[in-house]
Amino acid sequence: MSNKLSNAQIAWRAAQDIENEAYVNLGIGFPEMVAKFQPPGRQAIFHTENGILNFGESPPEGEEDWDLINAGKKAVTLKPGAAFFHHADSFAMVRGGHLDVAILGAYEVAENGDLANWSTGPKGVPAVGGAMDLVHGAKRVAVITDHVTKHGQPKLVKRCSLPLTGVGCVTRIYTSLAVIDIVDQRFVLREKLAGLSLEELQAVTGAELVIAGDIADLVAPEI
């Protein structure tokens, strides 16, 4: 199989689809990387569940203000016009449909758009957290993920086997091998690595890939 995209390249590809001045929430961990790759001339307005709107990049090491953190407890900076608000108000924004995009990681995504991205296993977390609000409050929900698990098993599946974060909520998936939309409860292939055959991609995907029109090459800069 051909080389796969790195996490940074997956994050870069996802960032290319964020509209200028969109209100965006990035999930804790890997999805936070998307903020580094805003296209020239475009800038999203980032929201964090703990109560900041329009925060900026991480400060230089040693210059952190630990009163200014995102939901992942990472230090952030503020942009002009940034706002602070109560946790409850933050979730009112989410639940009220005021976010344009939420980008999350995943353990599993089902072909009907179901998402499983939390677990109570040995390295899990106590509960699903704010993700369950994000996936049904944001106007568009995208997932960034490796195409397979560390053990080579598909993460894109017919039905999720893990506890669900949300039902029928995912609209687009950016993986290390492809860009896939969920349309009418099916995986519709939009882009794939040029050196990867359809047969190779299908072999590591746990549900049928639907071909609808031309398939573009998935390309990303060296990062």
- The domain that holds 131 is classified in CATH as 3.40.1080.10
Say how many domains are in the chain.
Answer: 1
In a domain, 222, yes or no: no
Q: Nearest to residue 25, comparing CAs of 105, 86, 81?
A: 105
Provide the pLDDT for residue 3: 87
Provide the pLDDT for residue 184: 97
Provide the pLDDT for residue 116: 95
In a domain, 223, yes or no: no
49 among known catalytic residues: yes
In a domain, 20, yes or no: yes
In a domain, 1, yes or no: no
In a domain, 2, yes or no: no
Provide the pLDDT for residue 2: 53
pTM of whole model > 0.85?
Answer: yes
Provide the pLDDT for residue 126: 63
Question: For tokens 């960032």, what's the residue?
Answer: 15
Which residue is catalytic, options 19, 32, 49, 200?
Answer: 49
Alpha helices in 126-218 (DSSP H): 131-137, 198-203
Give mean pLDDT in consecutive 10-residue pieces for the chain, a chain of 223 residues. 86 97 93 91 93 92 94 92 95 96 96 90 69 94 97 97 95 98 98 96 97 94 92
In a domain, 105, yes or no: yes
Domain extent, residue 19, equals 7-217
